[in-house]
Amino acid sequence: MLAGHLALTVAALFTGAAFYVGFLLSTIQWWQSGDGLWLVGALLLLANWPFTLIVIMPTNNALLATPSEAASAGSRELVVKWGRLHAVRTALGAAATLVFLWAVS
């Protein structure tokens, strides 16, 4: 159960960040315990990678391609969109934390 408690701690402390560490620990806990909740949490953490590459990266690229002197209202809209997209990453981490809490209880 130690790996499970460590997975919960990592997810809670680094929601939206360092998700790969929580993924490894929760996958180990799932493998050891057979409790599918650990795998669900691991997949929620791992979901940040494709979400970042497929959904967030185009917005990042558009922002990076805009010279600062050419920034406009459209640039501001992209920054706002970027913030909303990163909130999804945080929500995935928070969901993983809740699943780990459920698994521990």
Q: Which domain covers residue 37, as residue numbers?
A: 2-104
CB neighbours of residue 72 within 10 Å? 9
Q: What is the pLDDT of residue 73?
A: 92
Report the residue count for the chain: 105
Domain count, the chain: 1
Tokens standing for 79?
A: 């920054």
Tokens standing for 94?
A: 């928070």
Q: What is the pLDDT of residue 1?
A: 78
Which parts of the chain have pLDDT scores under 50? Answer: none
- Asked if residues 93 and 19 have their Cβ atoms less than 8 Å apart, the reply is yes
Helix axes 36-46, 2-13, angle to 10 degrees: 30
Q: How far apart are CA 76 and CA 58, in angstroms?
A: 15
Q: What is the pLDDT of residue 35?
A: 96
In tens, the pLDDT along 9-35 reads: 777 776 655 556 678 889 999 999 999
